[in-house]
């Protein structure tokens, strides 16, 4: 049966990067188990200072909580799926999703630079909210996020909009909400990033 599978999917023996979804706060334990099984893996961590009652402690925290990257032939997936606290390989009903080598290198470079930290995923065209500064609380659409986030603010009562630039660290994604309907529309502000 393996030869039929291998003939249908000849790349199944080539090691590729995949993403493991693991139980919350178990990333380091899973990484230790993967190392014990000689599975090539990558758990990107960043340094975080936490303040406890009377002291400050520097901790190494996962950059992507709940995820560990593994490099292996897809035929060996059972070797990682049987590790305690592993939930699944990230993918769709068609199978595990591969991750490009360039994305792994990008993560490594960001951590080597020493400034990498977790941030909510922002997608161009997605709804966002400004969280800090004088524009805090305004919602809009992300138009651009290089060199600062460009946000378009719509003023529905006069059917006009304006663009504002803010620091991209002050922008968070907004969950999509059902439209609100009233008898007489009240002025509403919304924001979009450019």
pLDDT in tens, 122-143: 777 888 888 888 778 888 888 8
Q: Does residue 151 carry a pLDDT above 70?
A: yes
For the chain, give the percent of residues with pLDDT over 90: 31
CATH class of segment(s) 2-113: alpha beta
Q: Which two tokens stand for residue 26?
A: 């178990």
pLDDT of residue 158: 55
> pLDDT-based confidence at 62, cuts 50/70/90?
very high
43: helix, coil or strand? coil
Each domain of the chain, given as residue ranges in start order, spans: 2-113, 127-193
Mean pLDDT of all residues in 165-192? 60
Q: In whole angstroms, what is the distance from residue 3 CA to residue 34 CA?
A: 27
Question: What gap in Å lies between CA 70 and CA 81, rounded to an integer?
Answer: 11
Cα dist from 155 to 37, 71, 128, 170, whole Å: 58, 49, 16, 21
**Residue 72: partners with Cβ closer than 8 Å, 6 or more residues away:** 15, 16, 18, 39, 40, 79, 80
pLDDT at 157: 53
**pLDDT tens digits along 67-125:** 999 999 988 999 999 999 999 999 888 888 898 898 888 888 888 877 777 877 777 78
Share of the chain above pLDDT 70, in %: 77
Top mean-pLDDT range of 35-39, 75-79, 187-191? 35-39
pTM: 0.67
Per the DSSP assignment, residues forming a β-bridge with 67 are 21
- The mean of the pLDDT values for the chain is 80
More confident residue, 7 or 164: 164
At which residue do the structure tokens 């406890």 appear? 52
CB 113 within 8 A of CB 163: no
Burial readout 135-165 (b: 16 or more C-beta within 10 A, e: otherwise) = beebbbbbbebeebbbbbbbeeeeeeeeebe
């Amino acid at each position: 049966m393996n030869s039929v599978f291998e003939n249908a999917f000849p790349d199944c023996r080539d090691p590729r990067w995949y993403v493991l979804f693991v139980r919350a706060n178990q990333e380091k334990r899973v990484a230790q188990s993967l190392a014990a099984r000689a599975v090539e893996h990558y758990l990107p961590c960043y340094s975080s200072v936490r303040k406890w009652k009377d002291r400050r402690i520097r901790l190494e925290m996962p950059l992507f909580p709940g995820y560990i990257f593994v490099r292996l032939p897809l035929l060996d997936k059972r070797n990682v799926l049987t590790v305690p606290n592993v939930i699944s390989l990230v993918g769709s009903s068609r199978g595990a999703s591969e991750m490009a080598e360039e994305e792994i290198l990008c993560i490594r470079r960001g951590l080597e630079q020493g400034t990498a930290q977790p941030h909510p995923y922002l997608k161009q065209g997605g709804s966002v909210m400004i969280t800090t500064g004088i524009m805090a609380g305004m919602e809009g659409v992300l138009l651009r996020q290089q060199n600062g986030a460009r946000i378009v603010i719509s003023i529905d009562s006069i059917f006009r909009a304006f663009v504002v630039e803010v620091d991209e660290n002050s922008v968070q994604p907004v969950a999509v909400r059902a439209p609100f309907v009233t008898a007489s529309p009240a002025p509403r502000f919304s924001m979009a990033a450019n």
